[in-house]
Amino acid sequence: MISLIFNKKKSQKNLFCFSPEIMLATFTVEFILAGYSYFKYRTTRFGRGVIATLLLLGIFQLSEFYICRNSNPLFWSRVGFFSITLLPVLGLYLVSIVKRTSVFIKMGYVFAAGFALYYLLMPKSIEGAVCGGNYVIFNGSRGLYVFYGFYYFGFLFLAMWEAFEGIKGKIKNTILKKILFWFIIGYLSFVLPLSLVYIFIAGSRIAVASIMCGFAIVFAFILTFKIAPYYNKLSHYIGKIIEVKIDRPKGSKHPKHSYIYPINYGYIPGIKGLDGEEIGVYILGINKPIKNFKGKCIVIIEREDDNDDKLVVVPDGTNFTDKNIQEITYFQEKYFNSKIIR
């Protein structure tokens, strides 16, 4: 793990890490979690964001391991800083997917890219690293470190605030609220111990990053086994036989807008979607108005700017290409930025 010391006289920043065995074990666990998440959650943007977070955490631990093994320490110190620099904005990105809002996310991309490239490419950003037994020392000029701290912790707390605001705001769906709740718990799992130690144990203030990194593995488990499964509930329907109640049959008019439904449209009774309403379903492959339907879910239409994702259900044994689905559902999906998830 890494801890920080500022050397004011030499204008240097020193970092220390724990034993290579701990680093390697942490890297292994986080990459196993990333592999598990790949097989379980890779079909959605949110799932891919979870995988990226776990991989970056693991890469950081692997970088520490190789530094302490004296295997090209300068290269691995740059890789380590590159990986952790992307984490705060990636966390905010995941929260923004749940909330379907993107407050400060574009600004976060700019800061993350700038700092990541700075530590990866600039010659004096990190000048060297030496491992002595259980510790490794990184040397570099102070440069942008103060601004980097504001960026890093600023976006960590911004993600927590966005999650809290989502719980207390207009979000009705209990699944979304649970996701945001576990995001807050996940962040607190490393931020709260860090804060308590910093306040009450003055001698440990040089180990700020070490404490945070040590507890980040708790967040990795929460992300994998609490947060991601909740978001994965909709994608669980793909490939399953579903019974649908049709409330807007083919040829009927939308109750609030002027367009006519060219296909049957309904919902799954009693099953709530991310918007707090019953999950909406497009019925394809049936050319007459119907009241009820039982068929196979082949895709999810994920709306990036709305919580009202849709399922596409067809007669079992029937299939449609993504292009066909986009053309058929365009009458309604043209109002949203949507994509097809299989």
Together in a domain, 182 and 244: no
Together in a domain, 276 and 322: yes
Domain of 193 in residue numbering reads as 3-233
The CA-based dihedral angle spanning residues 300, 304, 305, 310, taken in that order and rounded to the nearest 10 degrees: 0
Together in a domain, 30 and 110: yes
Read off the CATH number of the domain in which 140 is found: 1.20.1070
Together in a domain, 79 and 221: yes
Calculate the alpha carbon distances from 222 to 44, 186, 208, 215, 217 in Å.
Answer: 18, 6, 22, 11, 9
Together in a domain, 102 and 21: yes
Residue 6 confidence (pLDDT) above 70:
no
Amino acid at 306: D
What is the rounded distance in angstroms from the CA atom of residue 313 to the CA atom of residue 292?
A: 12
Count Cα neighbours of 185 within 13 Å in the Cβ-side half-sphere: 14
What is the rounded distance in angstroms from the CA atom of residue 134 to the CA atom of residue 60?
A: 17
Together in a domain, 193 and 242: no
pLDDT at 312: 96
Together in a domain, 288 and 219: no
Together in a domain, 164 and 260: no
Taking alpha carbons only, the member of 60, 68, 194 closest to residue 138 is 68
Q: Which two tokens stand for residue 80?
A: 């380590």
Together in a domain, 127 and 171: yes
Mean pLDDT, all residues of the chain:
83
- pLDDT tens for residues 121-151? 888 777 766 665 544 555 666 667 778 889 9
Q: Which residues on adjacent β-strands are paired with residue 49? A: none
Mean pLDDT of 71-76: 85
Beta strands 310-314 and 241-248 are unpaired
- 331 pLDDT band (50/70/90 cuts)? very high
pLDDT at 267: 95
Mean pLDDT of 314-330: 94
What is the rounded distance in angstroms from the CA atom of residue 8 to the CA atom of residue 96?
A: 38
Number of domains present in the structure of the chain: 2
What is the rounded distance in angstroms from the CA atom of residue 108 to the CA atom of residue 93?
A: 9
In sequence order, the 6+-apart residues with CB closer than 8 A to the CB of 109 are 89
Count Cα neighbours of 309 within 13 Å in the Cβ-side half-sphere: 24
Together in a domain, 220 and 245: no
Together in a domain, 29 and 155: yes
Last residue of one domain, picked from the residues 186, 210, 233: 233
Read off the CATH number of the domain in which 304 is found: 3.90.80.10
Amino acid at 206: I
What is the percentage of the chain residues whose pLDDT exceeds 90? 44
Residue 2 confidence (pLDDT) above 50:
no
Together in a domain, 107 and 184: yes
Residue 256 confidence (pLDDT) above 80:
yes
Last residue of one domain, picked from the residues 233, 261, 295: 233
- pLDDT tens for residues 75-84? 888 888 899 8
Q: Which two tokens stand for residue 110?
A: 């700019």
pLDDT at 321: 94
- pLDDT tens for residues 194-246? 777 667 766 555 445 555 666 789 999 999 999 998 887 766 788 889 999 99
Last residue of one domain, picked from the residues 214, 233, 252: 233
251 neighbors 261 (Cβ within 8 angstroms) = yes
Q: Which residues on adjacent β-strands are paired with residue 248? A: 265
125 neighbors 119 (Cβ within 8 angstroms) = yes
Q: Map 163-181 to HEC letters.
A: HHHHHHCCCCCHHHHHHHH
